[in-house]
Structure 1
Amino acid sequence: MPENRSARDTGRSVRPYGWMLVLAATVLLADQASKLWAVSALSDGRNIPVIPGLIELRLLLNSGAAFSIGEGVTWVFTLTTAAAVAGILYTGRRLRSPAWAVVLGGLLGGATSHLLDRLFRPPGFAQGHVVDFIGYGGLFVGNVADIALTLSCALLLLLTLRGIPLGAAVAKEGQPSS
């Protein structure tokens, strides 16, 4: 009879992957809920100052990428984002590091939310516009997913510079990492 071994018995941890998925779902839900609010509350063209001169809420439907770059090739962003989501899900299977679970969870949640916008928002399937509504001092307009993506990229850079691999477990004080 084959032996039924748990992930703990084999030395593999499935927890970081699960936390990655929980964080991704949280980012996705927060972003989509805030976009739903923005479309309903800001469609009349009004701006709501949050911190005058620095942050305002205003609706912008973005067919391009950051700073509205590539507005005529929305389908390219749709395919690229779908590939990124698939890549993150595949790569996440090797996770053992809680810090990398945060990175990949934030990236996955933000990318998935943008992918859903591209797939299901007007003007049509795979041509949809991303809902942006947080204006930053007239420089650019973003959303909650963009915040998650930016913070995740900053943490990714930090972990990379520190040489922490995806499969590295973070050592607790007094214990060696595996």
Structure 2
Amino acid sequence: MVLIAIGGLLLDQLVKALAVARLDPDDPPVLFGGLLRLQLLRNSGAAFSMGSGATVVISCFGILVLVVVIGWVAPRVRRRWTLVATGMLMAGISGNLTDRLLRAPGPLRGHVVDLFALPHFAIFNVADMFITVTAVLVVVATLFGGDEATAGDAGTGEAGR
């Protein structure tokens, strides 16, 4: 979980650093026949640029959620899929929170770097992908069962041992 969280944060920040250094916001590269555009954008809000006037509130909420995930959720994780999902969630939250804390215009007001643009969709980044995949994992596990710890123990009553 910790390796996924740290690795995901580092990947997110590396991709954002490369985007800021190499992408021209006025001339975004178009890839895969127009399926993907690398559009550099600095987002003060949340998803789909909602809440652009509430950057400090979004930053504080991000800090609160990260503290809850690290202090309450992570210690209770027992299953492999929840270890992965929790690590990815921490990577996503900390990736965007790092931007809000360290980027211009200043602490708690920093703009998140977004760069991946799909047709008719929001512009997003690696941290957003981690958060989205986490949400999908939780939904899939809820619908189809994510209890692999008991898969080999059917009928024994010895779940997780």
TM-score of the superposed pair, with normalisation by structure 1: 0.81
Deviations 1:110-163 (A, max 9, x none): 000111100110011100000000111142110111111111110011223345
| Structure 2, unaligned runs of 5 or more | none
Aligned position for 1:24: 5
The aligned amino acid for 1:132 is: D
Deviations 1:73-116 (A, max 9, x none): 10011011101111111211011111101111111000001111
Query: For 2:143 and 2:64, how far apart are their aligned partners in 1?
Result: 25
Structure 2 residue 18 is the aligned partner of structure 1 residue 41: no
Deviation at residue 43 of structure 1 after TM alignment: 4.1
Deviation at residue 172 of structure 1 after TM alignment: 5.6
Query: For 1:87 and 1:134, how far apart are their aligned partners in 2?
Result: 29
Contact 1:133 1:142 in 2 (8 A): yes
Greater share of residues in helix? 2
Aligned position for 1:17: none
Q: Percent sequence identity over matched residues?
A: 34
Query: For 2:151 and 2:74, how far apart are their aligned partners in 1?
Result: 22
| Structure 1, unaligned runs of 5 or more | 1-19
Aligned position for 2:139: 157
Where 2:159 maps in the other structure, the secondary structure is coil
The aligned amino acid for 1:45 is: D
The number of aligned residues is 156
Where 2:105 maps in the other structure, the secondary structure is coil
Q: 1:134 to 1:23 in 2, by over 3 A?
A: same
RMSD across aligned positions (CA): 1.8
Structure 2 residue 88 is the aligned partner of structure 1 residue 109: no
Structure 2 residue 36 is the aligned partner of structure 1 residue 55: yes
TM-score of the superposed pair, with normalisation by structure 2: 0.89
Q: 1:95 to 1:49 in 2, by over 3 A?
A: same
Contact 1:169 1:177 in 2 (8 A): no
Aligned position for 2:52: 71
Query: For 1:136 and 1:95, how far apart are their aligned partners in 2?
Result: 34
